[in-house]
Structure 1
Amino acid sequence: MKNLATLYGLLAFLISTISAYAQHENYPDGRPAATRRIECRDQGIVLQYGDGKDSCDVYGAREAVLNKVGNTYYLFYDGAGKDGWKACLATSTDLQNWQKKGAILDLGDPTKMDAKSASSPWVIKDKDTWHMFYLGTPNATPAPDRVPAFPYLTMKAKAASLEGPWAKQYDVQPFTTKPNTFYAVTASPGFIVKHNNEYLQFFSGSAQDGKVVKRTVGIARTKNLDGSWDVMENPIVPLDEQIENSSLYFDKDQKMWYLFTNHIGINEKGTEFTDAIWVYWTKDIYHWQKENKAIVLDKQNCSWSKGAIGMPTVIQTGNKLALLYDAAQGESISHMKRNIGLAWIALPVKVSN
């Protein structure tokens, strides 16, 4: 009987292990996978593409970036419009019903580095001024999609209000790509936080490894938002992690930083796409470990998308985190025709094995 009980125990362990393993994505090229999860309840689509002012999002809505002033939420998102991808604005008081305001940035003229995209704006307020760091590129795929193409660069604008008007500062170059680094191909903006009397920006960097592009998040530092930024030599996690974009949340009780990011997966055909939202955590904002990560949202718990699930942004509302993200409906992995969804994470964040 003792041996039988031991056998049953071993079988139960093997079944639970196999079941857990089956729930985790295994990538055909061997890129690292996340094996833990946090509880995240998806509510579904809250902002649909297609009806923005002046056709600003006629082909899709992506890259949600959320801010709050008073009782109003300000959602910047990338509208795939008739002449390219531009930062658009929508406002809400409940995160679920949004009033679209249209594009808040224009494309630069053909001589400018944002001639083909002016998108993905991250902002921070200093005194009476809002400082914006947005993605610019002189390259894009052909019409009508006009998907921004490398290099992705960080560019600057400022305004007295989140609604603008935003004045571009072409004379300011926060940081840019650098050969033979983790940000050799892209150096695009991310979440900004003031910490220890300096500003930290968690930006997206990528580098070419043979025919493969590898991606991660790095930290740039400055004390002057209208000046240049110093990039820390090493990214927060290795390029093999294949992550991009960032949204930070600090739990004051746990004294823990959480960084939400989208992961780039790959299918059996060798096509890469944004397949999940991951979270990393640390108590030292300058130092992160690749082992401390978990899946937040993917095809298992997203109610309407089983394909491409993209960039997250989080904000605390009461005892929950609201998470906005972009995704393509059904099993599509396209860059186009994406909508913005809303999901909820109970606080404190709990990681399951």
Structure 2
Amino acid sequence: MPTTFPDGRPSAQLRLAARDQGVIFRHGEGPAQCDMLGAREANVFLEDGVYHLFYDGAGPRGWLVCLATSRDLVHWERHGPLLDFGSPGSPDSATATSPWVIHDGTQWRMFYVASPNASPAPDYIPSFPYLTLTATAPRLAGPWTKHYDVRPFVPQPGTWHSLTASPGFVLREGGEYLQYFSSTTDSPAGIYQRTLGLARTRDLAGSWTIDPEPLFPVNEQVENTSVYFEPTNGLWFLFTNHVASERRADGTIGEWCDAIWVYWSRDPRRWDQHQKAIVLDRHNCTWSQRSIGMPSVLPIDGRLALFYDGNHGEISTNMQRDVGLAWLDLPLRPPA
């Protein structure tokens, strides 16, 4: 039976279950304590046979995007932060994290989460607004140069992306670049409403145009994206993080990231909220029985690797997270 939620948010009825390998990267071993309080929002890219793991390291001054590299997804060399905090008053003075990158034929371009706000020490959890900033580098390992003069898109008051407009997966398709960004707005009930939007551009160094309507209704409660195209059947698969809800003892609604969902479509610009399935949750994750964080996918040797983060056991917190890996067989097909 599908899970039901106390505020009536939609659930997924089908399953396209991944096989979980377990934890592949633990926090607390990075240089200069860069991930002493957690490693999360894993995003893996391949360059010259080397896997580059970008992750949010929670360090002594706050959260920054960090880098680790590997040739086998087992043994990792930790390189520390790729970006630093911006100067006081800059849009990334409190965090520079969660990057998505794409190669434009000449150099790598990064779209990363920025915010001037964070919670108090020692956690320094980034808080709204979540913004999108850019950087460039000749190689994935850097050095990365920030470009404060480029603002792809920003939150807009009175819209479904009023509180956040943070970056997501970027692809080139049909003569334009598409970015699947995360958005957040308030609801009359006082609960954040999260969905995904589509932004378009023909110039990665310029501004982006946001489609007027989100990809899914705002009560779908999903955030963060990674997209895979299956050439054998012409389907696009969009992996995303679902946010669940529960009623607390005091009657209020609490929320946490509980699962990775996948949607499928023949058109990467249009998606049906009903064509979805659960990929990873407490039923098939071997170590994190409550929190399942941001997905990213990468085809490797005939299988699709699914990277995510979580907390060990039955807890759910933004801190003390590690990175896990699960697998899906290719070719990828929707569940019956």
Fold agreement, TM-score > 0.5: yes
Asked if 1:123 is matched to 2:106, the reply is no
The CA distance in 2 between the partners of 1:85 and 1:25, in whole Å, is: 33
Match of 2:237 in 1: 258
Distance 1:350-1:252 versus aligned 2 partners, 3 A rule = closer
User: Match of 2:276, as an amino acid?
Assistant: K
Asked if 1:249 is matched to 2:228, the reply is yes
The CA distance in 1 between the partners of 2:333 and 2:15, in whole Å, is: 9
2:212 to 201, 217, 233: 233
Match of 1:217 in 2: 196
> 39-48 vs 95-104, which deviates more?
95-104
C-alpha contact 1:64 1:312 (8 A) present in aligned 2: yes
1:49 to 9, 12, 27: 27
Match of 1:347 in 2: 330
Q: CA deviation at 1:248?
A: 0.5
C-alpha contact 1:207 1:215 (8 A) present in aligned 2: yes
C-alpha contact 2:17 2:284 (8 A) present in aligned 1: no
The CA distance in 1 between the partners of 2:209 and 2:233, in whole Å, is: 29
TM-score, normalising length: structure 2:
0.97
User: Match of 1:267, as an amino acid?
Assistant: E
Q: CA deviation at 1:44?
A: 0.4
Q: CA deviation at 1:111?
A: 1.3
Match of 1:73 in 2: 51
Residues 170-209 of structure 1: matches in 2 within 5 Å? 170-209=148-187
2:303 to 320, 323, 327: 320
The CA distance in 2 between the partners of 1:253 and 1:180, in whole Å, is: 42
Match of 1:7 in 2: none
The CA distance in 1 between the partners of 2:97 and 2:153, in whole Å, is: 17
Asked if 1:288 is matched to 2:271, the reply is yes
The CA distance in 1 between the partners of 2:301 and 2:247, in whole Å, is: 42
For the residue of structure 2 that corresponds to 1:209, the secondary structure is coil
Cα deviation code 1:262-307 (max 9, x no counterpart): 0000123121111000001100111101001000000000000111
Match of 1:329 in 2: 312
C-alpha contact 2:56 2:63 (8 A) present in aligned 1: yes
TM-score, normalising length: structure 1:
0.92
Q: CA deviation at 1:96?
A: 2.3
The CA distance in 2 between the partners of 1:351 and 1:177, in whole Å, is: 33
User: Match of 1:236, as an amino acid?
Assistant: L
C-alpha contact 1:106 1:118 (8 A) present in aligned 2: yes
Match of 1:36 in 2: 14
Number of positions where the alignment pairs a residue of Structure 1 with one of Structure 2: 331
Identity value in percent: 48
Match of 1:17 in 2: none
For the residue of structure 2 that corresponds to 1:240, the secondary structure is helix
Cα deviation code 1:54-109 (max 9, x no counterpart): 11100000101111112111110000111011000011112222211110010111
C-alpha contact 2:242 2:260 (8 A) present in aligned 1: yes
C-alpha contact 1:36 1:351 (8 A) present in aligned 2: no
The CA distance in 2 between the partners of 1:343 and 1:37, in whole Å, is: 15
For the residue of structure 2 that corresponds to 1:259, the secondary structure is strand
Match of 2:261 in 1: 278
Match of 1:3 in 2: none
For the residue of structure 1 that corresponds to 2:192, the secondary structure is strand
C-alpha RMSD over aligned residues: 0.9
C-alpha contact 1:38 1:349 (8 A) present in aligned 2: no
Q: Which has the higher helix share?
A: 1
Match of 1:133 in 2: 111
User: Match of 2:247, as an amino acid?
Assistant: E
User: Match of 1:234, as an amino acid?
Assistant: E
User: Match of 1:323, as an amino acid?
Assistant: L
The CA distance in 2 between the partners of 1:140 and 1:260, in whole Å, is: 27
C-alpha contact 1:84 1:146 (8 A) present in aligned 2: yes
For the residue of structure 1 that corresponds to 2:13, the secondary structure is coil
1:267 to 234, 246, 249: 246
For the residue of structure 2 that corresponds to 1:277, the secondary structure is strand
Mark the runs of 5 or more structure 1 residues left unpaired by the alignment. Answer: 1-20
Q: CA deviation at 1:205?
A: 0.7
Structure 1 segments (4+ residues) deviating >3 Å? 350-353
C-alpha contact 2:264 2:334 (8 A) present in aligned 1: no
The CA distance in 1 between the partners of 2:3 and 2:56, in whole Å, is: 28
